[in-house]
Structures are given as structure tokens and as C-alpha cells.
């Protein structure tokens, strides 16, 4: 069947169309993305404003048209931290459903972590052993650990690159004092969770997903995306530690000129790099391997697992 997954994230609304059936690897057929940056559209009360809701509805309609054009038989729509944590989330969800017919399933942070972990496990297989998975989104950081398909521990922290940029780094380039304050905040938040994972022992394999980690790995010399999914890509902490101050000293326009950095993500790359560096440092990780599968693929795999076998 042709399955569509509509991901209303903190940065983008992304429709991923795959050809899939239970027991088989989902094959990407089409991708439709719009940068909405919901995490940065919240007002002082934490609500998504009327303009933001109107834009979201327009993008969902556009995604529905794209899904129909591509012959999608079933659409699985979900939303993550930006909608989940908006003070008017119920109103937003009701308007989206009333005006588009799409009922967004709001994932909890722990569900995001578990589904991303599932995707990583299926990608690397059982031979990868105990996995530690790090995923930096626009609104949150997910961390999961385990040896099975369901992690033994999974947490979500409000340390997304978009959220932190909007709340902590107003300058372009950011003020050094703001960088220092954000570094303290990020590390204090992550440090609270380290003990929860340490009791399970050292992982056999540390994996990172998300656009932020992919861009940081590319800066550090990893292969371009054009070289395909199956090229191994890594990010070393030593390299990342060298890049963080360099990125912090640049404007967003200057960062956008770097290899692999998109214009839309350049503004929040400093915050994302600080979260990546903090997580790798506090968890004692020297190298992460980049996984091309993440939350969307996890949602697809779970959906296929629950479909009746032919």
C-alpha cells in the first residue's frame, strides 16, 4: 500500500509518502516539506497565535493535496512538542480537524523517544546490541536506551534547537553572555537524566538522528546526503567541540554558507550544536553514528506492525 505520514513538528510540517507492507522495508516515494517553525510562533502566554493556526491549516491542506496526488491510501497524521505544549493545543487541534478533516495524534515526549528508538533498532538490527539514541528536534531533545525494540529508558527534555534559539539567543551572532547562560541551562537539564541511564551500563552503540545531527556531521566531514542512505556517517565529539565556538561567532547568513547547512536551520544551529555537545559530553560519548531513520519511520513501522497480515 501507499502510506502517508504527516508530521507536524516544531520546525517543519513534513509529509513522507512510502510504499509499504507489513514485514517489508518502507520505500520512500515522495517527500513534501514546509518550514513553519511553530516552536517560534508561540506568544507570551505559550499559545499558537491566530496567524500561526491559519498557516498550519493551510499547510495541512496543501499536504493533503500532495498526498492525494501521490495516491496515498492511508494517512497517519501526528504532532510533536510545539503543538503538545501550546497552551491552546485543544483549540488548535479542533480547528485543524474542523477545517481539514485531519485528526492529529499528539505524541508525548516519551512516545517520540520510543518511536525514534524503534526506527533506529530496525535500521541497525539486533547486532548493534545496547543502543543509546539521541534525537534533537525543534522543540525537544529525546534520549532512549535499550537492547530490545522498546527502550528500557526514554526521556524527553525541552531542549529543542528552535525553542532554545527563540528563548535564549536573540542576537545574530549571539551574545557571548547568552551563549554561556544557555550552556549552563542545557547541561543542567541533561545532567539530571544521566543517572537514569547509567544504571543500565555502557551502550554498545551510540546513535544520533535528526536534521541537527546530520548537519553537524556534514560540517565535520561526513558524506553528503546525495551519496545515499547507506554511507556510514559519524560525528566525533572532538570535532563538534571545535565547531561550537566557530558557529557561535557567525551570523545566521554566514552559517547558511557552510556545507550541508540549510538557510532555514542556520539560525538555530548554534543551540542545536550546544545540545549535541552537552549530551555527548555528559553521557561520555566520543562518537555517534548518524541514522537516516527517525521518528517518522518509527511511526510508519509501528503502524505496519499493527496492520493485519495478508
Q: Which pLDDT score, from 0 to 100, does residue 310 have? A: 61
How do residues 236-258 score in pLDDT, each as one tens digit? Answer: 999 999 999 999 999 999 999 99
Q: Which pLDDT score, from 0 to 100, does residue 155 have? A: 97
Looking at the chain, how many residues does it have? 310
- Coil, helix or strand at residue 39: helix
Residues 155-168, mean pLDDT to the nearest whole number: 94
Q: Per-residue confidence at 277, pLDDT binned at 50, 70, 90?
A: very high
Q: What is the mean pLDDT of the chain?
A: 95
Q: Per-residue confidence at 302, pLDDT binned at 50, 70, 90?
A: very high
In this model, does residue 1 exceed pLDDT 90?
Answer: no
The residues pairing with 8 across neighbouring beta strands, listed in sequence order, are: 13, 79
Helix or strand run (H / E) with residue 51: helix 50-69
Q: C-alpha angle with apex 180: 174 to 185, nearest 5 degrees?
A: 110
Question: Which has the minimum average pLDDT: 11-15, 120-124, 226-230?
Answer: 226-230
Q: Which pLDDT score, from 0 to 100, does residue 147 have? A: 97
Residues 63-87, mean pLDDT to the nearest whole number: 95
Helix or strand run (H / E) with residue 174: none
Determine what percent of the chain is predicted with pLDDT higher than 90: 87
Nearest to residue 298, comparing CAs of 161, 135, 72? Answer: 135
Q: Per-residue confidence at 105, pLDDT binned at 50, 70, 90?
A: very high
End-to-end Cα separation, the chain, in angstroms: 12
User: Within a 13 Å sphere around the CA of 147, how many CA atoms are in the beta-carbon half?
Assistant: 7
Amino acid at each position: 500500500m501507499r502510506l502517508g505520514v504527516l508530521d507536524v513538528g516544531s520546525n517543519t510540517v513534513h509529509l513522507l509518502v512510502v510504499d509499504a507492507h507489513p514485514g517489508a522495508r518502507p520505500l520512500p516515494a515522495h517527500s513534501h516539506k514546509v518550514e513553519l517553525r511553530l516552536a517560534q510562533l508561540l506568544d507570551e502566554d505559550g499559545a499558537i497565535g491566530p496567524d500561526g493556526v491559519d498557516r498550519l491549516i493551510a499547510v495541512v491542506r496543501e499536504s493533503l493535496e500532495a498526498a492525494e496526488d501521490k495516491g496515498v491510501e492511508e494517512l497517519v497524521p501526528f504532532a510533536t512538542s510545539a503543538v503538545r505544549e501550546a497552551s491552546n493545543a485543544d483549540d488548535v487541534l479542533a480547528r485543524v480537524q474542523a477545517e481539514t478533516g485531519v485528526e492529529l495524534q499528539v505524541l508525548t515526549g516519551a512516545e517520540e523517544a520510543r518511536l525514534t528508538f524503534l526506527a533506529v533498532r530496525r535500521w541497525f538490527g539486533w547486532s548493534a546490541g545496547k543502543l543509546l539514541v539521541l534525537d534533537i528536534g525543534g522543540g525537544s531533545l529525546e534520549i532512549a536506551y535499550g537492547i530490545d525494540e522498546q527502550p528500557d529508558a526514554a526521556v524527553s527534555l525541552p531542549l529543542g534547537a528552535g525553542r532554545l534559539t527563540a528563548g535564549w539567543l536573540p542576537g545574530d551572532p549571539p551574545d557571548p553572555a547568552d551563549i554561556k547562560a544557555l550552556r549552563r541551562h542545557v547541561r543542567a537539564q541533561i545532567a539530571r537524566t544521566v543517572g537514569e541511564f547509567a544504571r543500565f551500563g555502557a551502550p554498545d552503540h551510540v546513535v544520533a538522528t535528526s536534521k541537527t545531527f546530520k548537519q553537524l556531521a556534514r560540517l565535520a566531514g561526513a558524506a553528503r546526503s546525495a551519496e545515499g542512505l547507506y554511507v556510514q556517517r559519524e560525528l566525533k565529539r572532538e570535532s563538534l567541540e571545535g565547531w561550537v565556538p566557530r558557529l557561535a561567532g557567525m551570523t545566521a547568513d554566514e552559517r547558511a554558507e557552510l556545507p550541508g547547512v540549510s538557510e532555514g536551520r542556520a539560525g538555530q544551529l548554534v543551540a542545536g550544536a550546544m545540545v549535541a555537545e552537552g549530551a555527548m559530553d555528559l553521557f561520555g560519548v566520543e562518537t555517534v553514528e548518524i541514522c537516516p531513520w527517525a521518528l517518522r519511520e518509527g511511526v510508519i513501522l509501528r503502524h505496519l506492525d499493527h496492520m493485519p497480515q495478508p
